[in-house]
Amino acid sequence: MNKETEIKLRASRTTLAALREHPLLKKRNKSGWQRVELFNQYYDTPQRDLASSKVALRIRRDGEQFIQTLKSRGQSVAGLSERNEWDWYLDAPVLNLHKLDDSCWPASLAGLDKSTLQPLFSTDFIREKAEIAWGQGKARVVIEAALDLGKVAAGEGEEEICELELELRQGEPAALLELACELAAELPLMPCDISKAERGYRLFDAGSYSLSLALPALTAELPLDEAFAACAWHLLGASQRLAEQYRFNGHWSLLQDWLQQLVELRALLASLGQAAPRAITRELREQLDALLADWRPRLAAGQDNENLRHNAPALFAAELDGCRWGLLSLKLSLWLLQRNWTQGRNSRGERQGAAPLGSWLGTLLGEEGAALQLRRYQQRPEELAEQLPRLERLLVWLRLARSVLEVVEVDRLFGELNKLYVLILQPLDEAQRQLRASQVQIVQSLKPWKALVK
C-alpha cells in the first residue's frame, strides 16, 4: 500500500501550456517533461456500492502495462488530499478479484458479491509529468507535477480533464501549497476537491456528487485553536466544492451557498480576538473583503432579476479565468496548515487559543449579543444593517458549534437569529421594517438569548 498526498488544480488549456514553460518549474525541473497516454476504466456495482464506501477501483493501461488500482477516499481538506492506494500489475485488462482481499477491501463491503462489479465510466488523458525538486533549508522537497489533458466519459456524457496535479514525493505537505501559491499568483489555477473518479460518477449520475461535508466534530473541552482550525477548514472545503459544482451546472442556489461560506469564513477570522490578532489576519481579511465586495451586490441584485441570474455563470467563469479566487483559496489553505494565526501573539492570545471551546464560546456569544443592543433596534429596525458583521460572527459559531453549549433551546436561538439575518438582507420597505422589529422582539424574548446575554 502507498499513501499519496496531492493537490489538484483546475486549469485551462492556455494555462497548461504556460505551466510547461513556467520559469519556476523550469528552474526546479530535474527530469524534463515526460509524456504518457493513460487509459482508465473504472468499475463499480450498478448500485455504486464502492462509491458509497468512498473507494475507487480502476484498471489503467500505461503503454503496454495494465495496472489494477484500489484507492480509498482518505482525508481530503480544501483540495489537499491524502489517499491510500493499492496497485497490482496484470497480464490483461481484466479485474483480478482475488487481489481485493481483507488487506485492502473495506469492511463495509465485506458482504458484497464482487462478481457484480462492472465498467461504469472511463478517464482517458495525456499526462506530461516532471520531477520538481529543490532544497528547503536542510530538507529536500520533491514533487511530481503532472499536466493532464483528456476527457471523462460515461455513457453519452463527456467532460474535459484539464488540470495540474501536484503529488508529494518527498518533504512536508506545506511544500505542495507553497508551490501551488507561487504558480497561482501568475496563472488561474482553481483548487479542485473532486477526483477524476468523482467526475465520472457525476456524469454517470448527476445527483451522485455530494456537496455536503460533515460538520466538524467539536466538543466543549476542545481548545479554541483546534476548533477554529476545524471550522475554517470545513468552510474553505465547502466553498471549493460549491465553486466546482456551480462551474459545472450553473444552479443559482450553489452560487448563493458559495458566497455564504466566504461570509462565514470572514466572520470566523474576525471573531477570535487576541487568539488571532488583527495584524495576523489582515491580509486574508482584506482579500476576502474584496471578493465579497464584488459578489455580494451581484447576488443581492440577482434575487429578483432573472437576467442577472442567467448571466451569473459567465461572470463566475470570468472570476475563475483570473487569479483571485484560486490564489486566495490556496493562501487560506497554507495559512491554516501552518497555523499562522498562532504566530507572534501575546500571552493573552496564547491563553485564549488554549481555552476550552465551551467556556470561550459562551463568553463570545454573551459579549457579542450584548454589543448587538437589540432593544435599540426594535425602535429603529432600519438601522440593523450596521450590525451585520456582529450578527455574522454570532451565526457562524452558532451554526457550527452550538452543540457544545449547555443552553436550553439553542437550536431555536440559531433559527430565530438566522431569520433576523435574512430579513436584514432584504430590501427595506414599511412591511419589512415591521417584520424586522417583530423578529427583534422574538429574539429578545428567547430563554437562550437571555441566558447568554446576561
**What are the Cα distances from residue 190, in Å, to 9, 39, 164, 292?**
5, 25, 10, 18
Nearest to 436 by CA among 371, 370, 391: 391
Nearest to 424 by CA among 441, 439, 409, 406: 439
Q: Output the pLDDT for position 138.
A: 75
| Cα(84)–Cα(78) distance, integer angstroms | 18
Residue 413 domain flag: yes
Residue 379 domain flag: yes
Enter the DSSP assignment of 21.
Answer: T
Nearest to 135 by CA among 171, 169, 174: 171
Q: Assign residue 149 the CATH number of its domain.
A: 2.40.320.10
Enter the DSSP assignment of 386.
Answer: G
pTM score of the predicted model = 0.92
Residue 324 domain flag: no
Q: Output the pLDDT for position 290.
A: 97
Query: What are the b/e assignments for 226-263, b being 16+ CB within 10 Å?
Result: bbbbbbbbbbbbbbbbbbbbbbbebebebbebbbbbbb
Total of domains in the chain: 2
| Cα(232)–Cα(334) distance, integer angstroms | 12
Residue 258 domain flag: no
Last residue of a domain, one of 166, 187, 210: 210
Last residue of a domain, one of 183, 210, 237: 210
Q: Which residues of the chain have pLDDT under 70?
A: 1-2, 73-80, 209
For the chain, what is the radius of gyration of the CA atoms?
Answer: 24
Residue 51 domain flag: yes
Q: What residue numbers bound the domain in which 112 lies? A: 1-210
Question: What are residue 327's phi and psi, to 5 degrees?
Answer: -65, -45
Residue 139 domain flag: yes
Residue 194 domain flag: yes
Vertex 292, ends 217 and 165: CA angle to 5°? 65
Q: Output the pLDDT for position 139.
A: 84
Other beta carbons within 10 angstroms of residue 72's beta carbon come to 18
| Cα(301)–Cα(317) distance, integer angstroms | 18
Side chain identity at 238, as an amino acid letter? A
Residue 111 domain flag: yes
Which bin fits 353, alpha (ψ -120 to 50), beta or left (φ > 0)? alpha
Last residue of a domain, one of 192, 210, 228: 210
